[in-house]
């Protein structure tokens, strides 16, 4: 059985310009991990919230 990929590993594997969308329930965790990875690996991520669709989008910008 294949191991489920976590959003942390998904963010680590992102290339510049890549986007990932997560449900609103993960908002705090996703934002925290994007901030941590930005510091740890000298990257930049941007997050956008869509209140109507109830999702958060993470974009790697650098």
Per-domain residue ranges of the chain: 14-60
DSSP state letters, 18-51: -EEEEEGGGHHHHHHHHHHHHHHHT--EEEEEET
Q: For residue 22, is pLDDT > 80?
A: yes
pTM summary value: 0.86
Q: What is the pLDDT of residue 3?
A: 65
Residue 51 pLDDT > 60: yes
Cα–Cα distance for residue pair 21/52, rounded to 1 Å? 14
User: Percentage of residues in the chain with pLDDT exceeding 70?
Assistant: 95
* Interval 2-14 mean pLDDT: 83
Q: What mean pLDDT is predicted for residues 33-43?
A: 95
């Amino acid at each position: 059985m294949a191991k489920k990929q976590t959003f942390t590993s998904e963010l680590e594997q992102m290339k510049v310009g890549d986007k990932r969308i997560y449900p609103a329930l993960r908002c705090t965790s996703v934002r925290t991990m994007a901030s941590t990875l930005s510091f740890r690996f000298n990257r930049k991520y941007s997050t956008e919230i869509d209140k109507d669709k109830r999702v958060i989008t993470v974009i790697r910008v650098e």
